[in-house]
Amino acid sequence: MTLVGYRCAPMTPNMGQGACQAIEDAAVALADCLAQRDDTAAALLCYELHRSQRANLIVRQSWRIGRVAQWQNPALCAVRDAAVRALGPGAQLRQLRFTLGVEA
């Protein structure tokens, strides 16, 4: 038995990655591990080792973004909004690369 998707990596919605990561779990990582090994138990272990690090990285990043996005203090919000504007599209690209697991 193993877990895929939201049940093993429950994440905040801030990166829009819940379903994406569930698909990566089942359709890519689990499918690859099962295809590469005859022993199902070994395949599930391979999947869990491979996936936990990456999925947890996304879970933590999504939580961090959500925490900052929900600031209530008007002064902090103004600083945050100005910083996001100043970072520009390069920051979005870096975030996308991080999410996709692509080296910069």
Ligand X SMILES: Cc1cc2nc3c(=O)[nH]c(=O)nc-3n(C[C@H](O)[C@H](O)[C@H](O)COP(=O)(O)OP(=O)(O)OC[C@H]3O[C@@H](n4cnc5c(N)ncnc54)[C@H](O)[C@@H]3O)c2cc1C
Interface residue list for ligand X (CB under 6 A): 5-7, 13, 16-20, 22
Burial of 40 (0-12, 13-18, 19+ CB in 10 A): exposed
Looking up tokens 């909004």, which residue turns up?
81
Select 37 or 54, whichever has its Cβ closest to ligand X.
54
For ligand X, the closer CB: 19 or 79:
19
Tokens of 8: 């093993």
Which residue lies nearer to ligand X by CB, 4 or 33? 4
